[in-house]
Structure 1
Amino acid sequence: MTQNGMWIIGYGSLIFKPPPLVSFRVSGTIQGYIRRFWQSSSDHRGTPEDPGRVATLVSLEDLKHHDAFNQSFRSYSISNISGDKSDSNEYVQEHIQDVSQLENHDLKVWGVAYYIEPENVDEVKSYLDIREQDGYTLHTIEFHVHSIPEKDKAAQKIIQALPRATDGDLYIKSHVYIGTIDNQSFVGPEEIEKTASVIRNSAGPSGDNFSYLHSLTTSVRDLHPDSISSDSYLEALTYLASPRGSQLYSKGH
Protein backbone atom coordinates (compact mmCIF):
# COMPACT_ATOMS: atom_id res chain seq x y z
CA MET A 1 0.00 0.00 0.00
CA THR A 2 1.29 3.46 -0.87
CA GLN A 3 1.49 6.20 1.77
CA ASN A 4 0.09 8.81 -0.59
CA GLY A 5 -3.25 9.18 -2.29
CA MET A 6 -3.49 9.34 -6.07
CA TRP A 7 -5.21 11.62 -8.55
CA ILE A 8 -6.67 10.10 -11.71
CA ILE A 9 -7.25 12.55 -14.56
CA GLY A 10 -9.91 11.78 -17.14
CA TYR A 11 -10.86 13.45 -20.43
CA GLY A 12 -12.67 10.53 -22.11
CA SER A 13 -14.75 7.65 -20.79
CA LEU A 14 -13.42 8.17 -17.26
CA ILE A 15 -15.64 11.26 -17.07
CA PHE A 16 -18.89 9.27 -17.31
CA LYS A 17 -17.56 5.88 -16.21
CA PRO A 18 -15.36 6.51 -13.16
CA PRO A 19 -12.87 4.02 -11.75
CA PRO A 20 -13.72 2.11 -8.56
CA LEU A 21 -13.03 3.30 -5.02
CA VAL A 22 -13.20 7.04 -5.77
CA SER A 23 -13.14 9.32 -2.73
CA PHE A 24 -14.31 12.48 -4.55
CA ARG A 25 -14.19 14.22 -7.92
CA VAL A 26 -13.30 17.70 -9.14
CA SER A 27 -13.74 19.22 -12.60
CA GLY A 28 -11.28 21.42 -14.41
CA THR A 29 -9.08 21.78 -17.47
CA ILE A 30 -5.99 20.31 -19.07
CA GLN A 31 -3.94 22.99 -20.78
CA GLY A 32 -1.97 22.66 -24.00
CA TYR A 33 -4.07 19.98 -25.69
CA ILE A 34 -7.09 19.41 -27.93
CA ARG A 35 -9.37 16.37 -27.68
CA ARG A 36 -10.01 14.28 -30.79
CA PHE A 37 -11.56 10.88 -31.61
CA TRP A 38 -8.42 9.82 -33.44
CA GLN A 39 -7.61 6.68 -31.46
CA SER A 40 -8.92 3.43 -32.93
CA SER A 41 -10.49 0.94 -30.52
CA SER A 42 -10.42 -2.78 -31.18
CA ASP A 43 -10.89 -3.88 -27.57
CA HIS A 44 -13.70 -1.69 -26.15
CA ARG A 45 -15.82 0.13 -28.77
CA GLY A 46 -14.89 -1.90 -31.82
CA THR A 47 -13.26 -5.16 -32.89
CA PRO A 48 -9.93 -6.03 -34.53
CA GLU A 49 -11.84 -6.44 -37.81
CA ASP A 50 -13.83 -3.20 -37.42
CA PRO A 51 -12.13 -0.83 -34.96
CA GLY A 52 -14.19 1.96 -33.44
CA ARG A 53 -12.99 5.39 -32.36
CA VAL A 54 -12.25 6.72 -28.86
CA ALA A 55 -10.87 9.95 -27.46
CA THR A 56 -7.26 10.95 -27.13
CA LEU A 57 -5.35 14.20 -26.63
CA VAL A 58 -3.21 15.95 -29.25
CA SER A 59 -0.62 18.31 -27.81
CA LEU A 60 0.02 21.87 -28.88
CA GLU A 61 3.56 20.80 -29.71
CA ASP A 62 2.19 18.25 -32.18
CA LEU A 63 -0.12 20.88 -33.67
CA LYS A 64 2.87 23.14 -34.25
CA HIS A 65 4.94 20.43 -35.92
CA HIS A 66 2.30 18.71 -38.05
CA ASP A 67 0.38 20.91 -40.47
CA ALA A 68 -2.05 18.08 -41.22
CA PHE A 69 -3.66 18.54 -37.79
CA ASN A 70 -4.32 22.24 -38.25
CA GLN A 71 -7.50 22.06 -40.33
CA SER A 72 -9.34 20.18 -37.59
CA PHE A 73 -7.91 22.54 -34.99
CA ARG A 74 -9.01 25.66 -36.85
CA SER A 75 -12.50 24.29 -37.54
CA TYR A 76 -13.24 23.79 -33.84
CA SER A 77 -10.94 26.29 -32.18
CA ILE A 78 -13.33 28.89 -30.78
CA SER A 79 -14.34 26.91 -27.72
CA ASN A 80 -10.84 25.43 -27.36
CA ILE A 81 -9.09 28.80 -27.21
CA SER A 82 -9.06 29.59 -23.48
CA GLY A 83 -12.10 27.31 -23.08
CA ASP A 84 -14.45 30.27 -22.82
CA LYS A 85 -17.24 31.03 -25.28
CA SER A 86 -17.11 34.70 -24.29
CA ASP A 87 -13.91 35.09 -26.29
CA SER A 88 -14.49 37.14 -29.41
CA ASN A 89 -14.11 35.76 -32.92
CA GLU A 90 -11.55 38.49 -33.59
CA TYR A 91 -9.37 37.20 -30.75
CA VAL A 92 -9.63 33.64 -32.00
CA GLN A 93 -8.88 34.50 -35.62
CA GLU A 94 -5.91 36.63 -34.61
CA HIS A 95 -4.35 33.80 -32.65
CA ILE A 96 -5.08 30.83 -34.90
CA GLN A 97 -3.63 32.40 -38.03
CA ASP A 98 -0.24 31.30 -36.73
CA VAL A 99 -0.42 28.23 -34.49
CA SER A 100 3.23 28.71 -33.59
CA GLN A 101 2.25 31.78 -31.56
CA LEU A 102 -0.08 29.82 -29.27
CA GLU A 103 0.97 28.86 -25.75
CA ASN A 104 -0.26 26.01 -23.56
CA HIS A 105 -2.70 28.20 -21.65
CA ASP A 106 -4.44 29.08 -24.94
CA LEU A 107 -5.79 25.53 -25.28
CA LYS A 108 -7.98 23.96 -22.61
CA VAL A 109 -9.69 20.58 -22.51
CA TRP A 110 -12.37 20.14 -19.84
CA GLY A 111 -12.20 16.97 -17.80
CA VAL A 112 -12.24 15.54 -14.29
CA ALA A 113 -9.84 14.39 -11.61
CA TYR A 114 -10.66 11.66 -9.10
CA TYR A 115 -8.96 11.33 -5.73
CA ILE A 116 -8.09 7.82 -4.56
CA GLU A 117 -7.25 7.17 -0.90
CA PRO A 118 -3.81 5.64 -0.19
CA GLU A 119 -5.18 2.22 0.76
CA ASN A 120 -6.91 1.89 -2.62
CA VAL A 121 -4.17 3.15 -4.94
CA ASP A 122 -2.65 -0.21 -5.90
CA GLU A 123 -6.03 -1.75 -6.74
CA VAL A 124 -7.12 1.21 -8.87
CA LYS A 125 -3.77 1.30 -10.69
CA SER A 126 -4.19 -2.35 -11.65
CA TYR A 127 -7.73 -1.66 -12.86
CA LEU A 128 -6.61 1.24 -15.06
CA ASP A 129 -3.67 -0.66 -16.55
CA ILE A 130 -6.17 -3.20 -17.87
CA ARG A 131 -8.77 -0.66 -18.96
CA GLU A 132 -6.42 1.78 -20.70
CA GLN A 133 -4.75 -0.41 -23.32
CA ASP A 134 -4.69 -0.47 -27.13
CA GLY A 135 -2.06 2.21 -27.63
CA TYR A 136 -2.48 4.36 -24.52
CA THR A 137 0.60 5.28 -22.48
CA LEU A 138 1.07 7.24 -19.26
CA HIS A 139 2.09 10.90 -19.34
CA THR A 140 2.49 13.53 -16.63
CA ILE A 141 0.35 16.65 -17.00
CA GLU A 142 -1.12 19.48 -14.93
CA PHE A 143 -4.85 19.62 -14.27
CA HIS A 144 -6.28 23.02 -13.28
CA VAL A 145 -9.06 22.69 -10.71
CA HIS A 146 -12.23 24.72 -11.31
CA SER A 147 -14.64 23.14 -8.83
CA ILE A 148 -14.35 22.15 -5.18
CA PRO A 149 -16.85 19.92 -3.32
CA GLU A 150 -18.68 22.38 -1.08
CA LYS A 151 -19.87 19.98 1.62
CA ASP A 152 -16.90 17.63 1.86
CA LYS A 153 -14.51 19.08 4.44
CA ALA A 154 -11.94 16.30 3.98
CA ALA A 155 -11.91 16.88 0.23
CA GLN A 156 -11.54 20.63 0.70
CA LYS A 157 -8.51 20.07 2.94
CA ILE A 158 -6.81 17.90 0.31
CA ILE A 159 -7.58 20.35 -2.49
CA GLN A 160 -6.46 23.45 -0.59
CA ALA A 161 -3.06 21.81 -0.06
CA LEU A 162 -2.49 21.75 -3.82
CA PRO A 163 0.04 24.16 -5.39
CA ARG A 164 -1.05 27.17 -7.41
CA ALA A 165 -0.12 27.86 -11.00
CA THR A 166 1.07 31.26 -12.21
CA ASP A 167 -2.53 32.11 -13.17
CA GLY A 168 -3.67 31.48 -9.61
CA ASP A 169 -5.42 28.18 -10.27
CA LEU A 170 -4.97 25.26 -7.93
CA TYR A 171 -3.52 22.43 -9.98
CA ILE A 172 -2.93 18.70 -9.78
CA LYS A 173 0.19 17.17 -11.27
CA SER A 174 -0.49 13.54 -12.09
CA HIS A 175 -0.54 10.90 -14.79
CA VAL A 176 -3.00 10.55 -17.64
CA TYR A 177 -3.37 7.95 -20.38
CA ILE A 178 -2.87 9.37 -23.90
CA GLY A 179 -2.79 7.72 -27.30
CA THR A 180 0.08 9.70 -28.78
CA ILE A 181 0.37 10.38 -32.49
CA ASP A 182 3.10 7.76 -32.93
CA ASN A 183 1.19 4.82 -31.43
CA GLN A 184 -0.09 2.13 -33.81
CA SER A 185 -3.76 2.82 -33.00
CA PHE A 186 -3.63 6.54 -33.83
CA VAL A 187 -5.62 7.34 -37.00
CA GLY A 188 -5.47 11.12 -37.14
CA PRO A 189 -5.84 13.45 -38.76
CA GLU A 190 -9.19 12.07 -39.85
CA GLU A 191 -12.04 13.99 -41.46
CA ILE A 192 -14.85 14.41 -38.95
CA GLU A 193 -17.38 12.87 -41.37
CA LYS A 194 -15.24 9.72 -41.63
CA THR A 195 -14.91 9.53 -37.84
CA ALA A 196 -18.67 9.95 -37.45
CA SER A 197 -19.36 7.16 -39.94
CA VAL A 198 -17.03 4.77 -38.12
CA ILE A 199 -18.60 5.60 -34.76
CA ARG A 200 -22.12 5.20 -36.09
CA ASN A 201 -21.38 1.67 -37.33
CA SER A 202 -19.05 0.35 -34.62
CA ALA A 203 -19.56 -1.66 -31.45
CA GLY A 204 -17.34 -3.72 -29.17
CA PRO A 205 -17.22 -5.57 -25.84
CA SER A 206 -17.89 -2.34 -23.90
CA GLY A 207 -20.90 -1.35 -26.02
CA ASP A 208 -21.74 0.59 -29.15
CA ASN A 209 -19.44 3.40 -30.18
CA PHE A 210 -22.11 6.10 -30.45
CA SER A 211 -23.16 5.63 -26.81
CA TYR A 212 -19.57 6.33 -25.77
CA LEU A 213 -19.46 9.52 -27.84
CA HIS A 214 -22.89 10.75 -26.74
CA SER A 215 -22.15 10.08 -23.06
CA LEU A 216 -18.85 11.93 -23.28
CA THR A 217 -20.33 14.93 -25.09
CA THR A 218 -23.17 15.41 -22.59
CA SER A 219 -20.91 14.76 -19.60
CA VAL A 220 -18.38 17.37 -20.75
CA ARG A 221 -21.19 19.86 -21.35
CA ASP A 222 -22.42 19.31 -17.79
CA LEU A 223 -19.04 19.90 -16.14
CA HIS A 224 -19.84 23.61 -15.84
CA PRO A 225 -23.28 24.93 -14.81
CA ASP A 226 -23.23 27.45 -17.67
CA SER A 227 -22.02 24.82 -20.18
CA ILE A 228 -18.88 26.79 -21.03
CA SER A 229 -17.19 23.40 -20.80
CA SER A 230 -19.01 22.32 -23.97
CA ASP A 231 -16.59 21.04 -26.63
CA SER A 232 -17.48 22.17 -30.16
CA TYR A 233 -15.66 19.23 -31.76
CA LEU A 234 -17.57 16.71 -29.63
CA GLU A 235 -20.87 18.48 -30.30
CA ALA A 236 -20.30 18.43 -34.08
CA LEU A 237 -19.12 14.83 -34.09
CA THR A 238 -22.12 13.68 -32.04
CA TYR A 239 -24.50 15.41 -34.42
CA LEU A 240 -22.88 13.91 -37.51
CA ALA A 241 -22.83 10.43 -35.98
CA SER A 242 -26.50 10.63 -35.00
CA PRO A 243 -29.21 9.29 -37.36
CA ARG A 244 -30.45 12.79 -38.17
CA GLY A 245 -26.99 14.18 -38.79
CA SER A 246 -25.99 11.29 -41.02
CA GLN A 247 -29.15 11.68 -43.12
CA LEU A 248 -28.58 15.39 -43.66
CA TYR A 249 -24.93 14.83 -44.54
CA SER A 250 -25.88 12.12 -47.05
CA LYS A 251 -28.41 14.41 -48.74
CA GLY A 252 -25.81 17.14 -49.09
CA HIS A 253 -23.36 14.80 -50.79
Structure 2
Amino acid sequence: MTSGLWIIGYGSLIFKPPPHTEFRLDGYLKGFVRRFWQSSSDHRGTPESPGRVVTLVSLKDIKANKDLLTSVYTHELRHRSEFDDDADILEDDLKVWGCAYYVAPENAEFVRQYLEVREQDGYTLHNVPFHVTSAIPPSIQSKLKQSETGEYFLESSIYIGTIDNKSFIGPEEPLVTARVISGSRGPSGENSEYLLNLGNAIKELEARSSMKDYYLQQLVTSVLELSK
Protein backbone atom coordinates (compact mmCIF):
# COMPACT_ATOMS: atom_id res chain seq x y z
CA MET A 1 0.00 0.00 0.00
CA THR A 2 1.34 3.45 -0.94
CA SER A 3 2.11 5.67 2.04
CA GLY A 4 1.39 9.37 2.27
CA LEU A 5 3.93 11.92 1.10
CA TRP A 6 5.53 14.87 2.87
CA ILE A 7 7.28 17.36 0.60
CA ILE A 8 9.31 20.40 1.71
CA GLY A 9 9.12 23.75 -0.05
CA TYR A 10 11.86 26.37 0.35
CA GLY A 11 11.39 28.14 -3.00
CA SER A 12 8.44 28.36 -5.37
CA LEU A 13 6.63 25.53 -3.56
CA ILE A 14 6.01 27.97 -0.69
CA PHE A 15 3.86 30.30 -2.81
CA LYS A 16 2.83 27.76 -5.47
CA PRO A 17 2.08 24.47 -3.67
CA PRO A 18 1.77 21.12 -5.44
CA PRO A 19 -1.72 19.73 -6.10
CA HIS A 20 -3.66 17.53 -3.67
CA THR A 21 -2.05 18.89 -0.50
CA GLU A 22 -4.10 18.31 2.66
CA PHE A 23 -1.97 20.12 5.25
CA ARG A 24 0.76 22.71 5.30
CA LEU A 25 3.15 23.05 8.23
CA ASP A 26 5.57 25.97 8.47
CA GLY A 27 9.04 25.56 9.89
CA TYR A 28 12.71 25.42 9.02
CA LEU A 29 15.65 23.29 7.95
CA LYS A 30 18.94 23.20 9.84
CA GLY A 31 22.40 23.11 8.30
CA PHE A 32 21.57 24.76 4.96
CA VAL A 33 21.51 28.18 3.31
CA ARG A 34 19.19 29.24 0.48
CA ARG A 35 20.83 30.70 -2.62
CA PHE A 36 19.73 31.72 -6.13
CA TRP A 37 22.65 29.78 -7.59
CA GLN A 38 20.69 27.32 -9.71
CA SER A 39 20.28 28.28 -13.37
CA SER A 40 16.82 27.84 -14.88
CA SER A 41 16.40 27.16 -18.57
CA ASP A 42 12.96 25.54 -18.36
CA HIS A 43 10.86 27.67 -15.98
CA ARG A 44 12.25 31.17 -15.34
CA GLY A 45 14.64 31.37 -18.25
CA THR A 46 15.50 29.72 -21.56
CA PRO A 47 18.43 27.57 -22.76
CA GLU A 48 19.78 30.66 -24.53
CA SER A 49 19.28 32.93 -21.50
CA PRO A 50 18.98 30.96 -18.25
CA GLY A 51 17.39 32.62 -15.24
CA ARG A 52 18.13 31.96 -11.58
CA VAL A 53 16.12 29.93 -9.06
CA VAL A 54 16.85 28.77 -5.52
CA THR A 55 18.61 25.74 -4.21
CA LEU A 56 20.07 24.78 -0.82
CA VAL A 57 23.76 24.55 0.02
CA SER A 58 24.71 22.23 2.87
CA LEU A 59 26.99 23.04 5.80
CA LYS A 60 29.33 20.24 4.70
CA ASP A 61 29.80 21.85 1.26
CA ILE A 62 30.12 25.32 2.78
CA LYS A 63 32.97 24.26 5.06
CA ALA A 64 34.81 22.70 2.12
CA ASN A 65 34.67 25.76 -0.15
CA LYS A 66 36.16 29.16 0.74
CA ASP A 67 33.89 31.09 -1.65
CA LEU A 68 30.78 29.45 -0.19
CA LEU A 69 32.05 30.20 3.30
CA THR A 70 32.63 33.86 2.44
CA SER A 71 29.03 34.19 1.27
CA VAL A 72 27.77 32.69 4.53
CA TYR A 73 29.88 35.07 6.62
CA THR A 74 28.49 37.95 4.56
CA HIS A 75 24.86 37.02 5.24
CA GLU A 76 23.96 34.29 7.75
CA LEU A 77 27.02 34.81 9.99
CA ARG A 78 27.36 38.56 9.47
CA HIS A 79 27.78 39.05 13.24
CA ARG A 80 30.94 36.90 13.27
CA SER A 81 34.49 37.37 12.05
CA GLU A 82 35.61 35.46 8.98
CA PHE A 83 38.61 34.38 11.03
CA ASP A 84 36.47 32.36 13.42
CA ASP A 85 37.18 28.65 13.43
CA ASP A 86 34.99 27.08 10.74
CA ALA A 87 34.64 24.01 12.90
CA ASP A 88 32.60 26.15 15.29
CA ILE A 89 29.84 26.61 12.69
CA LEU A 90 26.99 24.32 13.71
CA GLU A 91 23.80 23.22 11.97
CA ASP A 92 21.85 25.43 14.38
CA ASP A 93 23.72 28.46 13.01
CA LEU A 94 22.21 27.96 9.55
CA LYS A 95 18.43 27.79 9.29
CA VAL A 96 16.17 28.16 6.26
CA TRP A 97 12.48 29.02 6.50
CA GLY A 98 10.14 26.81 4.50
CA CYS A 99 7.03 24.69 4.67
CA ALA A 100 6.04 21.03 4.45
CA TYR A 101 2.96 19.72 2.66
CA TYR A 102 1.22 16.43 3.32
CA VAL A 103 -0.30 14.47 0.44
CA ALA A 104 -2.61 11.54 1.19
CA PRO A 105 -1.62 8.02 0.00
CA GLU A 106 -4.14 7.95 -2.86
CA ASN A 107 -2.54 11.07 -4.42
CA ALA A 108 1.09 10.45 -3.52
CA GLU A 109 2.20 8.86 -6.79
CA PHE A 110 0.50 11.56 -8.90
CA VAL A 111 2.25 14.31 -6.92
CA ARG A 112 5.60 12.50 -7.15
CA GLN A 113 5.31 12.45 -10.95
CA TYR A 114 4.20 16.10 -10.99
CA LEU A 115 7.26 17.12 -8.95
CA GLU A 116 9.64 15.07 -11.11
CA VAL A 117 8.63 17.29 -14.03
CA ARG A 118 8.57 20.53 -12.07
CA GLU A 119 11.98 19.95 -10.44
CA GLN A 120 13.79 18.38 -13.39
CA ASP A 121 16.49 20.95 -14.17
CA GLY A 122 19.32 19.63 -12.00
CA TYR A 123 17.34 18.83 -8.84
CA THR A 124 17.52 15.47 -7.08
CA LEU A 125 15.42 14.02 -4.28
CA HIS A 126 16.72 13.90 -0.70
CA ASN A 127 15.34 13.24 2.77
CA VAL A 128 16.04 15.70 5.59
CA PRO A 129 14.51 16.62 8.96
CA PHE A 130 12.06 19.52 8.89
CA HIS A 131 11.42 21.33 12.18
CA VAL A 132 7.83 22.46 12.66
CA THR A 133 6.96 25.87 14.14
CA SER A 134 3.28 26.22 13.21
CA ALA A 135 0.30 24.81 15.08
CA ILE A 136 -0.15 21.09 14.40
CA PRO A 137 -3.67 19.73 13.85
CA PRO A 138 -4.37 16.89 16.32
CA SER A 139 -5.27 14.59 13.43
CA ILE A 140 -1.68 14.60 12.10
CA GLN A 141 0.36 14.79 15.31
CA SER A 142 0.89 11.03 15.14
CA LYS A 143 2.57 11.46 11.72
CA LEU A 144 5.35 13.59 13.27
CA LYS A 145 8.34 12.76 15.42
CA GLN A 146 9.26 14.55 18.64
CA SER A 147 12.74 15.39 19.89
CA GLU A 148 13.92 15.06 23.49
CA THR A 149 13.20 18.76 23.94
CA GLY A 150 9.61 18.32 22.76
CA GLU A 151 10.16 19.89 19.33
CA TYR A 152 8.11 18.35 16.52
CA PHE A 153 9.85 17.41 13.30
CA LEU A 154 9.36 15.13 10.32
CA GLU A 155 11.56 13.35 7.82
CA SER A 156 10.52 14.74 4.49
CA SER A 157 11.30 14.56 0.78
CA ILE A 158 13.00 17.61 -0.65
CA TYR A 159 14.42 18.54 -4.06
CA ILE A 160 17.89 20.09 -3.98
CA GLY A 161 20.19 21.17 -6.77
CA THR A 162 23.46 19.99 -5.22
CA ILE A 163 26.74 21.76 -5.97
CA ASP A 164 27.77 19.04 -8.44
CA ASN A 165 24.68 19.24 -10.65
CA LYS A 166 25.05 20.70 -14.15
CA SER A 167 22.82 23.72 -13.46
CA PHE A 168 24.59 24.90 -10.30
CA ILE A 169 26.41 28.10 -11.20
CA GLY A 170 28.36 28.46 -7.97
CA PRO A 171 28.93 31.49 -5.73
CA GLU A 172 27.72 34.69 -7.36
CA GLU A 173 27.54 38.23 -6.00
CA PRO A 174 23.92 39.24 -5.25
CA LEU A 175 24.07 42.21 -7.64
CA VAL A 176 25.21 39.95 -10.50
CA THR A 177 22.37 37.53 -9.69
CA ALA A 178 19.92 40.43 -9.50
CA ARG A 179 20.86 41.59 -12.99
CA VAL A 180 20.32 38.10 -14.40
CA ILE A 181 16.94 37.82 -12.64
CA SER A 182 15.85 41.27 -13.81
CA GLY A 183 16.47 40.36 -17.44
CA SER A 184 15.19 36.79 -17.51
CA ARG A 185 11.86 35.27 -18.45
CA GLY A 186 10.81 31.68 -19.16
CA PRO A 187 7.73 29.51 -19.77
CA SER A 188 6.63 30.01 -16.14
CA GLY A 189 6.92 33.79 -16.29
CA GLU A 190 9.22 36.61 -15.24
CA ASN A 191 12.21 35.58 -13.15
CA SER A 192 11.71 38.66 -10.98
CA GLU A 193 8.15 37.52 -10.21
CA TYR A 194 9.54 34.28 -8.76
CA LEU A 195 11.98 36.18 -6.54
CA LEU A 196 9.48 38.78 -5.32
CA ASN A 197 6.81 36.16 -4.57
CA LEU A 198 9.35 34.20 -2.55
CA GLY A 199 10.52 37.34 -0.78
CA ASN A 200 6.96 38.19 0.29
CA ALA A 201 6.30 34.61 1.45
CA ILE A 202 9.48 34.50 3.56
CA LYS A 203 8.72 37.92 5.03
CA GLU A 204 5.45 36.51 6.39
CA LEU A 205 7.30 33.60 7.99
CA GLU A 206 10.01 35.87 9.39
CA ALA A 207 7.40 38.00 11.14
CA ARG A 208 6.94 35.17 13.65
CA SER A 209 10.56 35.02 14.83
CA SER A 210 13.94 36.75 14.81
CA MET A 211 15.28 34.48 12.06
CA LYS A 212 16.05 36.56 8.95
CA ASP A 213 17.21 35.70 5.44
CA TYR A 214 19.56 38.63 4.79
CA TYR A 215 20.74 37.19 1.48
CA LEU A 216 17.19 37.08 0.13
CA GLN A 217 16.46 40.57 1.44
CA GLN A 218 19.50 41.98 -0.37
CA LEU A 219 18.56 40.24 -3.61
CA VAL A 220 14.98 41.56 -3.49
CA THR A 221 16.21 45.10 -2.79
CA SER A 222 18.67 44.94 -5.69
CA VAL A 223 16.04 43.71 -8.19
CA LEU A 224 13.59 46.41 -7.10
CA GLU A 225 16.30 49.04 -7.54
CA LEU A 226 17.10 47.76 -11.02
CA SER A 227 13.42 47.93 -12.01
CA LYS A 228 13.16 51.68 -11.31
TM-score normalised over the length of structure 1: 0.84
Residue 96 of structure 1 contacts residue 102 of structure 1 at CA under 8 Å; is this kept in 2?
Answer: no
- 2:133 is matched with 146
How many residue pairs get aligned? The number is 228
Q: SS at 1:148's partner residue?
A: coil
Q: SS at 1:223's partner residue?
A: helix
- 1:152 is matched with none
Q: SS at 1:48's partner residue?
A: coil
C-alpha distance 96-178 of structure 1, shift in aligned 2 (>3 A): farther
Query: Aligned partners of 1:106 and 1:227: how far apart in 2?
Result: 15
Q: Counterpart amino acid of 2:123?
A: Y
C-alpha distance 225-193 of structure 1, shift in aligned 2 (>3 A): closer
2:107 to 103, 120, 123: 120
Query: Aligned partners of 1:125 and 1:71: how far apart in 2?
Result: 36
Shift of 1:99: 2.4
- 1:133 is matched with 120
Shift of 1:193: 1.0
Aligned identity (percent) is: 50
Which segment is superposed worse, 160-169 or 204-213? 160-169
Query: Aligned partners of 1:96 and 1:111: how far apart in 2?
Result: 30
Residue 162 of structure 1 contacts residue 172 of structure 1 at CA under 8 Å; is this kept in 2?
Answer: yes
Q: SS at 1:93's partner residue?
A: coil
Shift of 1:227: 5.6
- 2:35 is matched with 36
Query: Aligned partners of 1:246 and 1:189: how far apart in 2?
Result: 23
C-alpha distance 211-194 of structure 1, shift in aligned 2 (>3 A): same
Deviation readout 1:27-73 (Å, 9 max, x if unpaired): 00000000000000000000000000000000000011011112211
Q: Which residues of structure 1 form unaligned runs of 5+?
A: 79-88, 150-154, 248-253
Say whether residues 1:171 and 2:153 are aligned partners. yes
Q: Counterpart amino acid of 2:71?
A: S
Normalized per residue, which structure has more strand? 2
Query: Aligned partners of 2:85 and 2:148: how far apart in 1?
Result: 25
Q: Which residues of structure 2 form unaligned runs of 5+?
A: none
- 2:94 is matched with 107
Which segment is superposed worse, 233-242 or 222-231? 222-231
Q: SS at 1:222's partner residue?
A: helix
Say whether residues 1:183 and 2:165 are aligned partners. yes
C-alpha distance 169-94 of structure 1, shift in aligned 2 (>3 A): farther
1:198 to 180, 185, 208: 180
Q: SS at 2:20's partner residue?
A: coil
Shift of 1:246: 6.6
Shift of 1:140: 1.1
Q: SS at 1:54's partner residue?
A: strand
- 2:65 is matched with 66
- 1:83 is matched with none
CA-atom RMSD, angstroms? 1.9
Deviation readout 1:92-131 (Å, 9 max, x if unpaired): 4269722221121221100000011111101111100110
Shift of 1:158: 1.2
C-alpha distance 176-195 of structure 1, shift in aligned 2 (>3 A): same
Shift of 1:241: 1.3
Residue 136 of structure 1 contacts residue 179 of structure 1 at CA under 8 Å; is this kept in 2?
Answer: yes
Shift of 1:168: 3.0
C-alpha distance 211-176 of structure 1, shift in aligned 2 (>3 A): same
Q: Counterpart amino acid of 1:239?
A: T
Deviation readout 1:125-178 (Å, 9 max, x if unpaired): 1100110011000111000000025xxxxx422135411234431111021000
Say whether residues 1:237 and 2:223 are aligned partners. no
Query: Aligned partners of 1:125 and 1:96: how far apart in 2?
Result: 44
